Structure 1
Amino acid sequence: MCGIVGLFIKSPKLEPELGALLATMLEVMSDRGPDSAGFAVYGDGRSDRVKLSLHAPGGADFQAIAATLEGQVGTKVGVTIRSSHAILEVPAERETALRDALGQGYPLVTVVGTGARMEIYKEVGQPADVARRFDLSSMAGTHGVGHTRMATESAITTAGAHPFSTGRDQCLVHNGSLSNHNSLRRTLRRDGVAFGTDNDSEVAAGYLTWRLRQGDSLKRALTSSLDTLDGFYTFVVGTESGFAVLRDPISCKPAVMAETDDYVAFGSEYRALADLPGIARARVWEPEPATVYSWERAA
């Protein structure tokens, strides 16, 4: 059992409140997932630059790491530190060089996500504590997703926490279980998709990455997963421009959505949405099985 939340802002006036609203939603889902929590926020960014979301064990000196990396990659490395995570920002054409330098010099530092706009933070602990630790309430943006985890099939670790990201500006949170993830992981690895954990949810993210690389739209990629991913699941997916939801054909996991002129919201339970502004006037519904719901921001 896990908890999922998602929020897609349609009205610019609410963008400064994205983090605060998402933090409240995440905390409400604490009893569905008290072991660890995480979230992705889509804020400001430029197409010619890339942000790497990094995690490191306690005590990492990210400022010193960034200063060393500047000499190795030949460019200024922007750094923003939030507890055990840091966001390093470089020109997009220097991403590979930065990744190579990190891998060679700092093997304990993990890249948990990359993109022009996406930042990912996740950690072991109660969801409310995780949100406070990274100061989620202060973050602004157009959309975000969050997850609270109750680990039933693997260890309670930061690496095992959601969201999972296997592609630029793309992430996924998952409630459920996949039965064919090991065989699919092997197939995707042969096609160049990299994985950092044995978590089944990361395979779902990887499958979508692979489909998007083939030129599929997000909606088409999610639709194809209904024939490929075996198990039961609810997915909430974030991309640079959008937000999508999919439930498996059985839909045994709870889910509810709400939409107003200002936002679209998802929660594993309605109580995650209850404190959103204007919720009393929202259209509220349970998403249908095997149906993709998606929204994109204007270019």
Structure 2
Amino acid sequence: MCGIVGLFIRDPALEPQTGALLAQMLGVMSDRGPDSAGFAIYRDAPPGALKLTLRGQGPGALDGLEAGLQAALRVPVSAERHDTHLVVALPAACEAEARAWLAAQRPGAAVVGAGRRIELYKEVGLPAQVSERFGLPAMAGSHGIGHTRMATESAVTTRGAHPFSTGLDQCLVHNGSLSNHNSVRRSLEREGLAFETENDSEVAAGYLTWRMRQGASLKEALEASLSDLDGFYTFVVGVENGFAVLRDPIACKPAVMAETDRYVAFGSEYRALAGLPGIGTARVFEPEPARVYAWERA
């Protein structure tokens, strides 16, 4: 099962509603994945800053973290708390030092996403409840993706929830199953990638990160995945300036898209899109198998 959604805003006047629309889409997909939910939303950090989204693993894991990190790095650090997650903005040049300090001093604060624009949140619970806990309906942004999970292959945990992020400003949600993810994981680990879970979706995200580190565009990385990743799947991938969709060559997992002058939207089912503004006049279509669909902001 599982439900995936994506929303790319073309009209800047609609950006203040991005979070509310994405939350609505996620909520509709609840019966496809009631175990856990997560989303990534893209909005700007202060100039020259990098954002780290941290998930607190246990009571007090995030308490005083902003002050401790600022004292250790001796640079301005700001933070915004969202329930069990904390978004920290700091100078981009300090990323490696910040990660080292967190690993040594705050092992209970896991980095779940990093980049100039991405914020990533996920937790166990119904999608509507997760959205409310993190304040998604009030968030503005240029685009976002989300996932509702039915854990058929592993335990219901926050770590196993989607999205998975393995590169700066990059994240992936996935509906389906990969049959060769263990062999791909071993190959990627030899290339220096590390994985936090046994989830095949994290392997797919890592594969795309590896390809793009080699110089491929997101579109080229997804096209290469058609040969290297075996299984049945639909991917929705977010990057700093846009998002992309790919279905496997058989395309047995449901998918529908809607396109207007104001937005492009993706959902596992049409009902996820039915509440969007102007949906009645949108171009609604089913994405073709083995074809990459990608949209970017200027």
- Give the TM bin, normalised by the shorter chain: over 0.9
SS of equivalent residue, structure 2 residue 189: helix
Q: Give the equivalent residue in structure 2 for 1:59.
A: 59
- Deviation readout 1:115-166 (Å, 9 max, x if unpaired): 0000000000000000000010010010000000000001100000000000
Q: Give the equivalent residue in structure 1 for 2:208.
A: 208
Q: Name the Cα RMSD after superposition.
A: 1.0
Q: Give the equivalent residue in structure 2 for 1:135.
A: 135
Q: Give the equivalent residue in structure 1 for 2:261.
A: 261
Alignment of 1:137-152 (within 5 A): 137-152=137-152
Gaps in structure 2 of 5+ consecutive residues: none
TM-score with structure 2 length normalisation?
A: 0.98
Q: Give the equivalent residue in structure 2 for 1:238.
A: 238
Alignment of 1:145-164 (within 5 A): 145-164=145-164
Aligned mates of 1:62, 1:152 — CA distance in 2:
31
Aligned mates of 1:115, 1:84 — CA distance in 2:
19
SS of equivalent residue, structure 2 residue 64: helix
SS of equivalent residue, structure 2 residue 177: strand
SS of equivalent residue, structure 1 residue 215: coil
Alignment of 1:14-93 (within 5 A): 14-46=14-46, 48-60=48-60, 62-93=62-93
Aligned mates of 1:61, 1:107 — CA distance in 2:
8
Q: Give the equivalent residue in structure 2 for 1:282.
A: 282
* 8 Å contact from structure 1 (residues 63, 79) kept in 2: no
Please, which moves more after superposition, 155-164 or 60-69?
A: 60-69
Give every structure 1 segment of 4 or more consecutive aligned residues whose post-TM-superposition deviation is greater than 2 Å: 45-48, 57-63
User: Identity percentage over the alignment?
Assistant: 66
Task: After TM superposition, give the deviation of residue 86 of structure 1 in Å.
Answer: 0.4
Q: Give the equivalent residue in structure 2 for 1:293.
A: 293
- Deviation readout 1:180-203 (Å, 9 max, x if unpaired): 111111111111222111110000
- Deviation readout 1:29-85 (Å, 9 max, x if unpaired): 000000000000001225621100110134225351121122222212211000000
- Deviation readout 1:95-126 (Å, 9 max, x if unpaired): 00000000011112111010000000000000
TM-score with structure 1 length normalisation?
A: 0.98
Aligned mates of 2:91, 2:201 — CA distance in 1:
30
Aligned mates of 1:104, 1:57 — CA distance in 2:
15
Q: Give the equivalent residue in structure 1 for 2:219.
A: 219
AA partner of residue 36 (structure 1): S
SS of equivalent residue, structure 1 residue 68: helix
Cα distance, 1:47–1:191 mapped onto 2, change above 3 Å: farther
Q: Give the equivalent residue in structure 1 for 2:13.
A: 13
Gaps in structure 1 of 5+ consecutive residues: none
- Deviation readout 1:257-285 (Å, 9 max, x if unpaired): 00000000000000000000000000000
Aligned mates of 1:65, 1:47 — CA distance in 2:
22
AA partner of residue 174 (structure 1): H
AA partner of residue 56 (structure 1): G
* 8 Å contact from structure 2 (residues 226, 248) kept in 1: yes
SS of equivalent residue, structure 1 residue 198: coil
